[in-house]
Structure 1
Amino acid sequence: MSLFTTLLLLAGTVCSSESPQKEEHKQSGQASYYANRFNGCRTTSGERVKQHLFTGAHRTFPFNTLVEVTNQANQQSVVIRINDRGPFHKGRVVDMTTAAAKAIGLLGRGVVNVTLRVVGKDRYVAQLDESPTLDGRSPLLPGLVPVQ
């Protein structure tokens, strides 16, 4: 048996037959929140900032992407829907509404270190004028699509 054939056989036994899993979309950096003066202003997507909803800005995630934001200091998490572009400060990976900031203990701190994880995309959100709220009566839940 030639050296080439032996190496080929060994390579076949070392390689896994499982298909490679899709890489999970995670990111770390700092989070900040919109000042109250931005309430009612238009976002890049055309929606208005509504401080009582769980929405936020990211530089590259597509609009309507659902992102879990976890405060690294206290491990509190919130899921926000991306509907804006930003933040444009070095080191910051997400801006969010005050409701979302409050949910993870960010209010009053200015910025905190967070981890972002894409958890899904809402296919119906474009027709709706609302996002998930604190009261749990979100019309979005039936439309959630898990990330594959």
Structure 2
Amino acid sequence: MRMPSIKSCWPLLALTLILGGCSSSPEPGSSTKTSTKGDRYHQKHDAYPDSAPDVSQVPDAIPRYEPYSRGGNKPYTVMGKSYNVLASAANFRESGLASWYGTKFHGYHTSNGEVYDMYSMTAAHKTLPLPSFVRVRNLDNKKEVIVRVNDRGPFHEGRIIDLSYAAAYRLGMLNTGTARVEIETIYIPSPENEAYTSSQDPNHYFIQVVASKDRERLNRLGKELAAKYQLGYRLQEKDTLYRLQLGPLGHEGIASKMLQQMRQQGYPSGYLVTEPKS
């Protein structure tokens, strides 16, 4: 198995930053490593883990409402380029190259202060608020994962997201090191943020339940869930994959509460789809 190409974090070897994970060093007086590897740059190059566990069954990150972290969400500069963090993760889409990072940063702090675990479904992004949830789709093999963004990077020209080893494995991109992807945020608003009434809310909301190539199975499930939750349903087709969505709902707060209920009742990967009212 060929090692991946030069990783996006390597150019930061000589920098001392206040970012985390693949792009930072510890703040003075702090200890950011949980292993006994010594300095975070104990490896000259990033690498695959030795005797890696089977990560084929590592589940997607489960989108949920989380307040944005205190750390990692301020404007910053890397290699002479300044970045402004987005105020919200809502309605964000992007296409480009994905890369991944592994043993070189495993066990060290990410930009929002958490410890990087290359066996979990996480990622790094330059401007999304931390944490954010993102669906990543490999355009070459159509594989998809949902990751939780808790780090900054990649700072390599042309790359839009740095994935954990587990996420890269499930997307089938370990051998190539990079992959062409589309990313889309899964934005979960605060359940307490119900400032709009239904008539004032400019959007319709659908609950994405599950995706499958089996149209008949999804139709049966759609009828069952529509009756259970007293909602309509639809199947959205894209690239031979059907997406079962319940709705529409005209109020963001109500849609979010319904989503949380469905996650607790057997659909943990559900998320909201937002569409403007016509």
Taking structure 1 as the reference length, what is the TM-score of the superposition? 0.66
1:88 paired with 2:214, answer no
- The aligned residue for residue 67 of structure 1 is 134
Correspondence list, 1:104-123, <5 A: 104-121=171-188
Compute the displacement of 1:36 (Å): 1.4
Correspondence list, 1:1-148, <5 A: 24-121=91-188, 146=272, 148=274
Q: Deviation per CA, 1:98-145: give whole Å up to 9, x if none.
A: 00001110112111111001122486xxxxxxxxxxxxxxxxx55987
Q: CA RMSD in A?
A: 2.2
- Kept after mapping to 2: 8 A contact 1:41/1:49: yes
The total of aligned residue pairs comes to 109
Higher relative contact order (CA 8 A, sep 6+): 1
* Distance (whole Å) between structure 2 residues aligned to residue 62 and residue 37 of structure 1: 24
- Kept after mapping to 2: 8 A contact 1:59/1:86: yes
Question: Runs (4+) of structure 1 moved beyond 3 Å?
Answer: 141-148
Q: Deviation per CA, 1:10-46: give whole Å up to 9, x if none.
A: xxxxxxxxxxxxx842100100111312110111111
Q: Deviation per CA, 1:35-80: give whole Å up to 9, x if none.
A: 3121101111111110111011001111121100101100100000
* Distance (whole Å) between structure 2 residues aligned to residue 25 and residue 58 of structure 1: 12
Counterpart amino acid of residue 155 in structure 2: F
3-state DSSP of counterpart to 1:120: coil
- The aligned residue for residue 46 of structure 2 is none
* Distance (whole Å) between structure 1 residues aligned to residue 107 and residue 188 of structure 2: 24
* Distance (whole Å) between structure 2 residues aligned to residue 82 and residue 147 of structure 1: 19
* Distance (whole Å) between structure 1 residues aligned to residue 95 and residue 141 of structure 2: 15
* Distance (whole Å) between structure 1 residues aligned to residue 162 and residue 136 of structure 2: 10
Identity of paired residues, percent? 36
Taking structure 2 as the reference length, what is the TM-score of the superposition? 0.36
| Structure 2: stretches of 5+ with no match in the other structure | 1-89, 191-262
Q: 1:122 to 1:63 in 2, by over 3 A?
A: farther
- Kept after mapping to 2: 8 A contact 1:66/1:122: no
- Kept after mapping to 2: 8 A contact 1:57/1:84: yes
3-state DSSP of counterpart to 1:36: coil
Counterpart amino acid of residue 26 in structure 1: R
| Structure 1: stretches of 5+ with no match in the other structure | 1-22, 124-140
Counterpart amino acid of residue 82 in structure 1: V
3-state DSSP of counterpart to 1:83: strand
